């Protein structure tokens, strides 16, 4: 996809880029020293990383590592005990146009089963103050046009994932935050999602995508953030993680042990 950027200017710390007929507000994600205790559990102890515009950043860690809790803090759904999680230099709750800045998929679309996809999207257009025609536009972007008049109750998990993504895109955000979006997608759906996210980033968007499945991220991301037991243990370009012959899987296992192992030889990413 060719980017025709005709103008950019700074809006707070957000970059507003106009490109062809489409415009988006792009912004960097900055997480620093983030911590959150839930009951007796230190769900997040020290998460520090950046997700940059124009890049797809994978947020990888084993089950229970703290990925969802970190993303919930980033999206203003949980209050950090310490540290900051900023989008374009601001907490989510202080963004002037939250849905026009960030699209998030944390859970499968919680639409009423009797509602059609079109009805679901149109009600979110009304809630978010978006033009009603956005429903059909995001359906086209996510390959949902043929399903618009079907009831959500009959959707497969993969179609629900697409509907969630379509809903997140209604405000034409420049930042996408996706928590395990490949769950329930078949191989063709995974390839489609990977291609969609790469094009979104190629247009200048910021993508942060979490997963505990290595193979989901291996071919679709530019940068990698590893989290283990609530701490980011490695951040950097994926190419640095694997270029010296260490497989992603081997490096992942090494860096999600007890943290005592050395970095893969030649790896220049940052180890926390």
Ligand X SMILES: Nc1ncnc2c1ncn2[C@@H]1O[C@H](COP(=O)(O)OP(=O)(O)OP(=O)(O)O)[C@@H](O)[C@H]1O
Q: Is 67 in the site for ligand X (CB under 6 A)?
A: yes
Q: What does the per-residue mask of binding to ligand X show for 188-227, with x meaning CB under 6 A?
A: ------------------------x---------------
Q: Which long-range contacts (CB under 8 A, 24 or more apart) does 130-135 make?
A: 130/99, 130/170, 130/171, 134/170, 134/172, 135/170
Instruction: From 59-67, 106-114, 215-223, 256-264, give the range in contact with ligand X by CB under 6 A.
Output: 59-67
Helices 117-128 and 134-141, axial angle in degrees (round to 10) = 120
- What is d(CA 90, CA 13) in angstroms, rounded to the nearest whole number? 8
Instruction: From 16-24, 49-57, 67-75, 89-97, give the range in contact with ligand X by CB under 6 A.
Output: 67-75
Q: What is the DSSP string of 95-137?
A: -SSHHHHEEEE-SS----TTSBHHHHHHHHHHHHT--TTHHHH
* Paired tokens of 233: 């243990």
Instruction: From 57-65, 89-97, 150-158, 199-207, give the range in contact with ligand X by CB under 6 A.
Output: 57-65
Residue of 54, 64, 76, 119 that binds ligand X (CB under 6 A):
64
Residue of 28, 57, 68, 233 that binds ligand X (CB under 6 A):
68
Q: Is 242 in the site for ligand X (CB under 6 A)?
A: no
Contact residues for ligand X, defined by CB under 6 A = 38-39, 41, 43, 61, 63-69, 212
């Amino acid at each position: 996809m060719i980017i025709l950027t005709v103008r950019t200017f700074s809006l707070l710390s957000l970059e507003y880029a106009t490109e062809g007929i489409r415009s988006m507000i792009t912004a960097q994600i900055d997480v620093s020293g983030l911590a959150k205790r839930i009951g007796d559990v230190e769900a997040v102890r020290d998460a520090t990383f950046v997700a940059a515009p124009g890049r797809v950043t994978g947020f990888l860690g084993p089950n229970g590592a703290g990925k969802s809790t970190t993303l919930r803090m980033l999206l203003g759904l949980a209050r950090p005990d310490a540290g900051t999680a900023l989008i374009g230099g601001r907490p989510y709750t202080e963004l002037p146009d939250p849905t026009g800045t960030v699209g998030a998929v944390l859970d499968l679309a919680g639409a009423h089963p009797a509602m059609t996809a079109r009805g679901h999207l149109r009600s979110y257009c009304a809630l978010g103050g978006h033009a009603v025609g956005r429903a059909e536009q995001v359906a086209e972007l996510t390959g949902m046009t043929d399903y618009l008049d079907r009831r959500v109750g009959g959707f497969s998990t993969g179609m629900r994932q697409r509907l969630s993504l379509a809903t997140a895109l209604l405000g034409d955000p420049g930042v996408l935050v996706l928590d395990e979006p490949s769950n329930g997608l078949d191989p063709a759906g995974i390839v489609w999602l990977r291609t969609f996210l790469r094009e979104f980033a190629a247009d200048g968007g910021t993508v942060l995508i979490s997963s505990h499945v290595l193979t989901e991220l291996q071919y679709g991301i530019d940068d990698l953030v590893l989290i283990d037991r609530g701490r980011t243990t490695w951040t950097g370009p994926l190419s640095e993680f694997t270029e010296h012959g260490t497989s992603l899987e081997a490096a992942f296992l090494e860096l999600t042990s007890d943290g005592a192992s050395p970095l893969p030889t030649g790896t220049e990413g940052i180890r926390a």
